[in-house]
Structure 1
Amino acid sequence: MTLYGVGLGPGDSDLVTVRGREVLQDADVVYSPGRLSRTVAIEHVPEDRIGDLDFPMTKDPDELRRAWKEAAAEIAPRAREGTAAFVTLGDPNVYSTFGHLRRTLAAFHDDVDLEIVPGVSAVTAFTTALGVEIDAGAGLSLREAANGASPTGPNRMVLFKVTDAPATHEGLVEAGYDVTYGRRLYMEQGETLVTDDPSDIAERDYYTLAYAEKRGLTTDRATDAFLESTERSEGIEHGDPVMGDD
């Protein structure tokens, strides 16, 4: 049968895709790698069909490989006999733990059929939450900014894992960026916060991102002319002087 890697979206159970919800509802077992993904999945799957996996909080590569090998050994038989799903916040192929499982299965259980169900990622969801518009033709770079890192270069960047906002902010401002931060955007767990003040989010939280844009960027949009026309009309209605020929 099949193992589905299902993206749950940014953390709001209402933002799971229709396809993702259908897969979860039909799966014989749904594996969750952590507490937050479990709280989203449980809105769509009975608790008795959710299987938990134990992953140690460590950077030791040997320990991590052992944990993923054990997880693959648990999941593979269920995927061969029926339908299984592995859920992850965001999208399974974007900054996701699912890649480790996919590679481990390929190495030790390559007979398991695999299908990816994409999810709404913070890569795109942040724009609505932060009120940002990325214009057609604009460049946008995805960077990681853990432990106070301040990557620079591109005119527009989305920074993930901003765990030391004050340190990251200092480097970005010095490099000429305006920065807006979002914490736990669209997540039902914890407080959602949008701010341009890094002191508001000085406390470490893995689920913090930032949008950095070089100061002074201008964009020439064809539809800006509509707004300019409206503003001129409103000026005339309010009796503002209009320059014209004598």
Structure 2
Amino acid sequence: MTLYGVGLGPGDAGLVTVRARKILESANVVYTPGRLSRGVAAEYVDGEQLDDLEFPMTRDEEQLRRAWKQAASEVAPAARNGTAAFVTLGDPNVYSTFGHLRRTLDRFHPDVELEIIPGVSAVTAFATALDVEIPAGAELTLREAPDGEAPVGPNRLVLFKVTDVPATDEKLQEAGYAVTYGRRLFMKEYESTITDDADELTERDYYTIAYAEKPEAIEGPASLFE
């Protein structure tokens, strides 16, 4: 049958799309890669339908390959014999762990049919949460910034996985950016934090986004109604 890669949105069950909800409700089994995604899926799926997949928090590529191969060997039979879903926060094709599973299935289980159900991604949701307007024609660069990294250059940056906010902030400020941070945005079980003060976010947290903008980008195009 089919394995669906289902995007759950940024963490609030109310932001799951109608299409995603229908797939979850009809699936024989729904695989979850972590507690947060399981919590969202559980709003629409009975507990007996849920199955957790364990992935190590490591950068050891060999260990990660073994984990994804094991996950694929578990998911493939369920997809062949019925309807299975693998859920992920955000969108399955945007900065998502689903890509690892998809590539592993393509290599070792090429007969498994795959279908992607897009979800509301932090790539777009951040703009609403941080009250940021990205005007038509504006360039916007998406990058990851773990462990104090701070990619610079473009006038507008969205940085994901900002785990060391003070270190990243110092570098961005030196490069001339005004920065706003959002932590655990739209995650119903958690209090979201939105701030331009890096000292408020000294604790490391994977679910932190930064929007960095240079002064010359703020002016933007003139209004048609001026």
Same fold (TM over 0.5): yes
Fraction of identical pairs, as percent: 68
Q: Which amino acid aligns with 2:117?
A: V
Secondary structure at 2:178 match in 1: strand
Q: 2:154 corresponds to which residue? A: 154
Secondary structure at 1:4 match in 2: strand
Q: 2:118 corresponds to which residue? A: 118
C-alpha displacement at 1:59, in angstroms?
Answer: 1.5
**What pairs up with 1:160-171 in 2 under 5 angstroms?**
160-171=160-171
Name which of structure 1's ranges 2-11 and 56-65 shifts more when overlaid on structure 2: 56-65
Secondary structure at 1:87 match in 2: strand
Q: 2:106 corresponds to which residue? A: 106
C-alpha displacement at 1:220, in angstroms?
Answer: 2.2
Q: Separation in 2 of the partners of 1:54 and 1:133?
A: 38
Q: Separation in 2 of the partners of 1:94 and 1:220?
A: 29
Q: Separation in 1 of the partners of 2:162 and 2:57?
A: 19
Q: Separation in 2 of the partners of 1:41 and 1:173?
A: 39
Answer yes or no: is the 8 Å Cα contact 2:30–2:51 preserved in 1. yes
C-alpha displacement at 1:212, in angstroms?
Answer: 0.3
Secondary structure at 2:205 match in 1: coil
C-alpha displacement at 1:215, in angstroms?
Answer: 1.6
Q: Separation in 1 of the partners of 2:207 and 2:189?
A: 11
Q: Which amino acid aligns with 1:223?
A: L
Q: 1:94 corresponds to which residue? A: 94
Q: Which has the larger radius of gyration?
A: 1
**What pairs up with 1:113-192 in 2 under 5 angstroms?**
113-192=113-192
C-alpha displacement at 1:171, in angstroms?
Answer: 0.8
Measured against aligned partners, the alpha-carbon deviations of 1:27-74 in whole angstroms (never above 9, x if no partner) come to: 000000111100000001001100111212222111111111111111
After TM superposition, where is structure 1 displaced by more than 2 Å over at least 4 residues in a row? 220-224
Q: Separation in 1 of the partners of 2:111 and 2:193?
A: 44
Q: Separation in 2 of the partners of 1:220 and 1:60?
A: 47
**What pairs up with 1:198-209 in 2 under 5 angstroms?**
198-209=198-209
Q: Which amino acid aligns with 1:80?
A: R
C-alpha displacement at 1:224, in angstroms?
Answer: 5.1
Q: 2:223 corresponds to which residue? A: 222
Q: 1:21 corresponds to which residue? A: 21
Q: 1:44 corresponds to which residue? A: 44
Q: Separation in 2 of the partners of 1:98 and 1:216?
A: 37
Q: Separation in 2 of the partners of 1:89 and 1:158?
A: 18
Q: Which amino acid aligns with 1:61?
A: E
Q: Separation in 2 of the partners of 1:191 and 1:11?
A: 12
Q: Separation in 2 of the partners of 1:146 and 1:72?
A: 27
Q: Which amino acid aligns with 1:205?
A: D
Q: Which amino acid aligns with 2:209?
A: L
Q: Which amino acid aligns with 2:73?
A: A
C-alpha displacement at 1:191, in angstroms?
Answer: 2.1
C-alpha displacement at 1:223, in angstroms?
Answer: 3.5
- For the pair 1:80 / 2:80, whether they are aligned, the reply is yes
Aligned length: 225
